Structure 1
């Protein structure tokens, strides 16, 4: 079973971003992954802003990233970059904290003009954290996600659901490939000892 940590960088609890992360979370659970979730909206703001590494919530968040096989990094886009709340979370991750992990970006913004925020804003930071296996991810436009006020939750446009399904399938394929490679390497080491 793969472990996936979803980092949601929206400081707003009702953000449309959670439409994306909730959908991906459900799909990953259906395919057998264990999911941890880190939400900037739920972490203690003072601990996050002061980088309080002694905080139980911060310790739990960092442990979730450390134990993950894959990390989904999700954020709304503001002024052509990911949120400051996401940046504060990423700043807490150790220098090589994403090394050996598959990274799936999920971004949402008001216009498709912010599509390159993943390439120009997020990817350099992921690389600085040791991440080299970054999937293409999904960029959604706000109007593709509707809040279901009475029922709770979110409704996603069909094209967005299809793109998220493809992203989850790619993530699962990469995780399966990584697990097979690790198993083969381990077997090769055992055979080499004999």
Structure 2
């Protein structure tokens, strides 16, 4: 199977981030399909190296290598001030221009208000497309529709689950059945 990298750009810690918890939930679904799934929490990278675009820093270099190895990606961020997070933007800016060329990428966003639903299409999608990604239909999930049950489980409100399920199914169909990066 292929290698799927999930990337989150939450400013809050992974334990309390609904975005990170939603992505972990989706990652487990892909792992159950037999894909190798790894997660990159951009917030965990050293701030000084990230802000100075120090791609030679060992932790940043490992993160860039994960992106290069990935056959497909889920890129998710909470929406702040009508756009995806600055920490995610900073990471995307240090990647090579066409780091996502030919890779299926699912953009996801979470937020507190339906007023931010267009952040996926007007903020995140254009950046991913400019990097060469084969961008799938993205989706926005309201924070209130994501319930954290315990350390590893998330429950989506039925309306969010019903809307997200076909999006995930379409993205799943674009994920290679065998790894491309190893070739």
Does the 8 Å CA contact 1:69/1:175 hold for their aligned counterparts? yes
Equivalent position SS for 1:121: helix
Alpha-carbon deviation of 1:176?
4.1
Hey, what does 1:60 align to over in structure 2? 62
The answer for the alignment partner of 1:34 in structure 2 is: 36
Q: Which has the higher contact order (CA 8 A, sep 6+)?
A: 2
Matched with 1:152 is 151
**Residues 71 and 103, structure 1, Cα contact 8 Å, conserved in 2:** yes
Say if 1:28 and 1:168, in contact at 8 Å, map to a contact too.
Answer: no
Please give the alpha-carbon distance, in whole angstroms, between the structure 1 residues aligned to 2:11 and 2:111: 14
1:10 aligned partner: 10
**Does structure 2 conserve the Cα–Cα contact (< 8 Å) formed by 1:27 and 1:168?**
no
Match of 1:165 in 2: 165
For structure 2, the residue ranges without an aligned partner over 5 or more in a row are: none
Question: CA separation in 1, counterparts of 2:145 and 2:22?
Answer: 10
TM-superposed deviation, 1:86? 0.6
Deviation at 1:76, TM superposition (A): 0.3
The superposition leaves residues 6-46 of structure 1 with CA deviations (integer Å, 9 ceiling, x where unpaired) of 11000211211122111111101011111121112211112
Note the C-alpha offset of 1:117: 0.7
- The alignment's TM-score, normalised by the length of structure 2, stands at 0.88
Q: How far is 1:152 from its partner?
A: 2.8
Q: Which runs of 5+ in 1 are unaligned?
A: 183-194
Alignment of 1:1-194 (within 5 A): 1-13=1-13, 14-131=16-133, 133-148=134-149, 151-153=150-152, 154-176=154-176
Q: Hey, what's the Cα distance between the residues in 2 that align with 1:40 and 1:176?
A: 25
- CA-CA distance at 1:65 after TM superposition: 0.6
Larger radius of gyration: 1
CA-based RMSD:
2.0
Task: Say whether the 8 Å CA contact 1:107–1:118 is kept in structure 2.
Answer: yes
Larger CA deviation: 33-42 vs 90-99: 33-42
TM-score (norm 1): 0.83
Check conservation: 2:121, 2:138, Cα contact below 8 A.
no
